[in-house]
Amino acid sequence: MLANRLTDARHAKHANHINPVAPLSRHPMSLRLKINLIVAALTLLFAAAVVTLQLRSLRDSVHEEVMAANRVAAQLLQRTAWRYAATGTSAMLAFLQGIGRVRSNDITLFDAQGAELYRSPPPTYKAGRDAPDWFAALIGPPPTVQSISFPDGKLEVRANASRAEVDAWDTVVAMAGGALAMLLIVNGTVFWLVGRALRPFGQIVQALNELQAGHFNAALPPLPGLEAAKIGAAFNRMVGQLQTHIETERRAVRAELQLSDSRELTRWIDQHVEAERRLIARELHDELGQSVTAVRSMALSIAQRVHSLDPQAEATARLIAEESLRLYDAMHGIIPRLTPLVLDNFGLADALADLVERTQRSQADVQVALEVALGAAVLPAEVSLALYRAAQEGLTNAMRHGLAHRLTLAVHGRADQVTLKLIDDGVGLAPGWSDKTGHHGLRWLAERAQSLGGSFEIAAAAPRGVRLHVWLPLAAGSLSGTSSAP
């Protein structure tokens, strides 16, 4: 159950890392719309450029047509006017009424007093229609008037570009309609083609949303298009790696739980073993010790009573007393190895001092320098016992295997941690010592330190010897087996 919860929590963490995918589906402007707007803008610019060029061409054409027509009409009427002038104004009037309108020109006849005698009729081509004033001002030529004078009157030929302007306006309207139709057709075609091209990206977004929702088996089929196919292949590779990482994390969680269970079991076994050792030590100290003392006392009493009566019995009694004394000493040597009763009664500092004293008493050529500075550290019972066992095992190994003569034992404590260092001047570690069988005591110390959330390290010291280092945490909750050494 705990493994499932931890795995779900890690899955949720991975899902949170994929959250940035979600805004893809809620973006205010889609890529399809952006492409269409770009195409529409480019189409409008193209159409505007074409219309501008066409307007310029139309303006030049209108100018040329109207000005040329005005010049031709003026030359024609000038020759005719002098021919009819000899017969009088009436003949000129009759001539003008006969020709009517001369292309894009307004013809007006005046008598000698300036009174208007004739004005050409309005144009019949596209009658009743005119181009907008702004358009006429844009492409129309400047006003042009040709004046022809004769003895009894005057002719005015005024250029009239209204019909050319209407033709140009109709051309521009047709072009604008064509451009609008082209814009609609092009944008509709582009919209359809872009939608078709971007369809695989919708599948990609859907797969990403499924991945965000926790479906880590999401996969994309082969997608059309080079870019979409590359993205799909990269997505499938990412999902495969993600599944591998998730499976690795699940295995790590299971291994961590198994390790935690193993540490808890080790601590439980250690606690019960220490309890049994403590019980045996107290039984030896209280029961067997008193019995051995009583046996020795009785043997000495018997020896005194038979001193003058039976020398052989006296010798036997004294032998029993000596053996009882050796048994008592051996028993008191076993008790500290079973459990340090002084540790329970007086604390770690006194227990280590007693250990060092007994070591130097049993090994006259060995010198042990002890330094204990616990400061504000408050040591739980199992931490004190672990440190004592580490010192006990380290001293024994240094003298037995390392042949050490000078040793330094230092214990330093703070409010949140305590460390033990033991350095000797022995022969050092044997080559490949970690690969050999045995050293059960060291492995047991390492497991105990790890079960308490600490660390155990043993390495070669310079210039010779071995350095043993134990670190244990003291902070609240640090004995759960999840802490690590700094």
Q: Would you tell me how many other CB atoms lie within 10 Å of the CB of residue 393?
A: 18
Residue 317's nearest CA partner among 291, 297, 292, 331 is 297
Cα–Cα separations (whole angstroms), residue 46 to 37, 51, 172, 180, 185 = 14, 9, 15, 12, 15
Tens digit of pLDDT at every position of the chain (486 positions): 434 443 444 444 444 444 444 444 454 677 777 887 888 888 888 878 887 887 788 788 877 777 777 777 777 777 777 677 666 677 777 777 777 777 777 788 887 788 888 888 887 777 778 888 888 788 778 878 888 877 777 878 888 877 787 888 888 888 888 888 888 888 888 888 877 777 777 777 787 887 778 777 777 778 787 777 787 788 788 888 888 888 888 888 888 787 777 767 766 776 677 677 667 766 666 667 677 777 778 878 887 888 777 788 878 887 887 887 777 777 766 766 666 777 777 888 888 998 898 888 888 888 999 999 988 888 888 888 889 889 988 988 888 888 888 999 999 998 889 999 999 998 888 776 664 444 667 777 888 888 888 999 988 888 888 999 999 998 754 444 333 333
CA angle at 286 for the pair 283 and 288, rounded to the nearest 5°: 70
Fill in the DSSP letter of residue 421.
Answer: E
Distance CA 62, CA 60 (A): 6
Whether residue 329 contacts residue 361, with contact meaning beta carbons closer than 8 Å, is answered with no
- pTM confidence score: 0.42
Q: Is 335 exposed, middle or buried (0-12, 13-18, 19+ CB in 10 A)?
A: buried
Cα–Cα separations (whole angstroms), residue 143 to 67, 73, 158, 160, 243 = 10, 15, 8, 8, 84
Residue reference for tokens 């067997």: 288
Distance CA 11, CA 9 (A): 5
Q: Take residue 358 and report the two structure tokens written for it.
A: 């007994």
Q: Take residue 369 and report the two structure tokens written for it.
A: 């320098």
Cα–Cα separations (whole angstroms), residue 391 to 259, 278, 411, 430, 486 = 26, 18, 10, 20, 21
Whether residue 399 contacts residue 409, with contact meaning beta carbons closer than 8 Å, is answered with no
* Chain segment 79-108, per-residue pLDDT in tens: 777 677 666 677 777 777 777 777 777 788
Distance CA 480, CA 454 (A): 10
Give the DSSP per-residue string, 73-132.
HHHHHHHHHHHHHTT-HHHHHHHHHHH---TTEEEEEEETT--EEEEPPPP-TTTT----
Whether residue 26 contacts residue 269, with contact meaning beta carbons closer than 8 Å, is answered with no
Residue reference for tokens 């450029």: 49
Q: Which residues contact 61 (CB under 8 A, 6 or more apart)?
A: 164, 168
* Chain segment 161-214, per-residue pLDDT in tens: 777 878 888 888 888 888 888 888 888 888 888 777 777 777 777 878 877 787
Dihedral sign of CA atoms 70, 73, 78, 82 in order: negative
